[in-house]
Chains A and B, each alone.
Chain A
Amino acid sequence: MSDETAMLREPWVDFSRQREAGKFGIWVFLASETLFFGALMLTYSVCRIEHPAAFAAAGRETNIWYGTINTAVLLTSSLTIAVAAQGAESYARLRRLVIACLVVTALLGLAFIVIKGFEYKEDMDKHLVPGAGFALPERAAQLFFGFYWLVTSVHAIHLSIGIALVGRLVWVLLRRELPVTENPEIEVTALYWHLVDIVWIFLYPLIYLPGRSS
């Protein structure tokens, strides 16, 4: 198959083995990423257990609308990239669908970041940046917002990397440098994208729901 030889890389002799290795490698990397975000969430948990009232007060200051809309945007992007990955799996005639789904995924990712930007703007206007002039009286509320800024920006960096990867994929697929069918890079990128998505699913309740249940 000419498609396979185009995608075969050193040191592999067998394309299916190469695909398998690519998938395996990204899973190992995702395990590493889990620990990365896990450490951040542990930090959050420790601080929240030490200062439950301040965290509830701070959680009420976040704008749940931005958070909820962004959750919907990101979940939709996971759907589109999943469709792209499945489409590339075996059906050669789905090339246009695959590329279209990848484009939509990248656009949804960008939309997430733009919405996040509006949210950041509002937070700054409300003086929710830790340091002098912080809006809330509870000192430990600064902890919450310290975590908020850090974890959302780390997440945004991950998402930007994801957008760049998807953008590059679209580019090489459109220029027909690589075939669509059975292209391992699509699935590897999709796995990474799903991780970024899942991290957000954990972050949403940690950031937007404290103090809102009662």
Chain B
Amino acid sequence: MNSLFSLPEASTHAVTVDHIFYLLLALSGATVVLVFGLILLFAVRYRRGSKAKRGPMPEFLGREFEIGWTLATLLTFAFLFWWASSADLSSLAAPPHALEIHVVSKQWMWKTQHANGAREINALHVPLHEPVHLLMSSQDVIHSFYAPAFRVKQDVVPGRDTDIWFEASKTGTFPLLCAEYCGTNHSAMRGEIVVMQPEDYAKWLTRQPEGDDLAHEGAKLFVSQGCSGCHATSSNVHAPRLAGLYGRAVQLADGRTVTADDAYLRDSILQPKRDVVAGFEPIMPSFKGLLDDGEIQSLTAYIRSLGEEPPND
């Protein structure tokens, strides 16, 4: 895929990163030429016994000169920081309507799941020119989702969700690597990302084996794990109703207000006593150890499918 000296720029983000990279390269190259050049020049001109003029240091090479080049270096670095960081800031948050794909990592494979439930192992199909938002979790140790052609990398950490997004700008097959050392077969934890035309991607999705989509799977879990015993509308137990919950602001018993997002739902399932909703008793048991990360993602998708309020802003 790669040629010997260049890496494809297969995402919009890659172009930005490469711009910064090349500027840094030019600047470093100039500095290297300057320093090595001066050392060589002095080494030859002032070699022992040469006829070059010696004597004390010239006047201008004094304290002011030193302060001058210190400030110049400082300003250059401050500029570099500003430039690199503003590029970073502009790419922090995923666009609101990005295509969401779930990624679960474990020793030593990548499992991906599309919105309609289609699953892949060590592969990820994505449409061209469409922002893709990956929601990632790990089942064992820390891994790192690394797609060099897209210039993106994000550690996948057990016990918390991380996310990353990119917009592919070239069709083709690109490597997916694990970049955080994760044990014996770390170097074999590789896969590929296939970028397709949107219509091809749609066709590809429909060809995939009949997987229940995430929300349907979540609905089944909702019953089989006993959630419906309390949270269903027909239940007699005094438990919060979940319809329309997703994205809403929730008033908690201790006075705080939180937004019911993925992280909040995950916490509420695993650590129900932490963020108790105002007006309810902390009676829900923890589902830690009973549900794996994939199942929590399914449940979250189900709750979201019960109705989502548009964000307030």
| A139 at the B interface (CB under 8 A) | yes
Interface string of A12-56 (1 = CB under 8 A from B): 000000000000000000000000000000000000000101000
For residue B187, which residues in chain A have a CB less than 8 angstroms away from its CB?
A: none
Give every chain B residue within 8 A of A51 (Cβ-Cβ).
Answer: 274
Once the chains bind, are A53 and B286 in contact (CB under 8 Å)?
A: no
**CB <8 Å contact, A53 and B273:** yes
| Contacting residues, chain B, for A122 (C-beta < 8 A) | none
Q: Mark A132-158, 1 if CB is under 8 A from B, else 0.
A: 000000111000000000000000000
Check if B288 is an interface residue, CB within 8 A of chain A.
yes
Chain A contacts of B273 at CB under 8 A?
A: 53, 138
In the assembled complex, the CB of B15 is this many whole angstroms from the nearest CB of chain A, namely 38
Chain B min CB distance to A55 (Å)? 12
Q: Which residues of A contact B286 (CB under 8 A)?
A: 139
> Which parts of A88-137 form the interface with B (CB within 8 Å)?
none
A140: chain B residues within 8 A (beta carbon): 271
| Residues A47-70 near B (CB distance < 8 A) | 51, 53
- In the assembled complex, the CB of B44 is this many whole angstroms from the nearest CB of chain A, namely 46
Residues of chain A within 8 A (CB-CB) of B288 are 139
**In the bound complex, CA of A36 to CA of B170 (Å):** 52
The answer for the CA separation of A53 and B272 in the assembled complex, in Å, is 11
Residue of A nearest to B276 (CB): A53
Q: How far is the CA of A53 from the CA of B288 in the complex (A)?
A: 17
How long is the Cα–Cα vector from A138 to B282 in the complex, in angstroms? 13
User: Which residues on B sit within 8 Å (CB–CB) of A138?
Assistant: 273
Bound: A139/B272 CA distance, A = 12
Residue of B nearest to A57 (CB): B273
Contacts of B271 in A (CB 8 A): 139-140
**B254 CB, min distance to chain A CBs, angstroms:** 9
Residues of B within 8 A of A139 (CB): 271, 286, 288
Q: Which of B250-284 contact A (CB under 8 A)?
A: 271, 273-274
B283 → A minimal CB distance (Å): 12
A138 to B270 alpha-carbon distance, docked (Å): 11
Give the Cβ gap from A54 to chain B, nearest Cβ, in Å.
Answer: 8
- For the complex formed, measure the closest distance between the CB of B231 and the CB atoms of chain A, giving whole angstroms: 21
Q: Please, how many angstroms separate the alpha-carbon atoms of A64 and B288 in the complex?
A: 31
| B253 nearest CB across to chain A (Å) | 11
Q: When chains A and B are docked, how far (Å) is the Cα of A140 from the Cα of B159?
A: 13
For residue B274, which residues in chain A have a CB less than 8 angstroms away from its CB?
A: 51, 53
Q: Which chain A residue has the least Cβ–Cβ distance from B285?
A: A137
Q: Which residue of B lies closest to A140 (CB)?
A: B271
Question: How far, in Å, is B265 (CB) from chain A's closest CB?
Answer: 18
Min C-beta distance of A175 to chain B, whole Å: 57
A51 to B271, CA, bound (A): 10
Q: 8 Å CB contacts to B: which residues of A140-197?
A: 140
> B272-308: which have CB < 8 Å to A?
273-274, 286, 288
Q: Separation in Å of the B290 CB from the closest CB of chain A?
A: 13
Least CB separation from B274: chain A residue: A53
Shortest Cβ gap from A153 to chain B (Å): 26
- Could you give, for residues 18-58 of chain B, a 1 whenever the CB lies within 8 Å of some chain A CB and a 0 otherwise? 00000000000000000000000000000000000000000
5 tightest Cβ-Cβ pairs between the two chains A and B: A53-B273, A53-B274, A139-B288, A138-B273, A139-B286
Q: Which residues of B contact A (CB under 8 A)?
A: 271, 273-274, 286, 288
6 contacts between A and B (CB under 8 A): A51-B274, A53-B273, A53-B274, A138-B273, A139-B288, A140-B271
Taking A53-B273, A53-B274, A139-B288 as known contacts, 5 extra A-B pairs with beta carbons closer than 8 A to each other, sorted by chain A number, are A51-B274, A138-B273, A139-B271, A139-B286, A140-B271
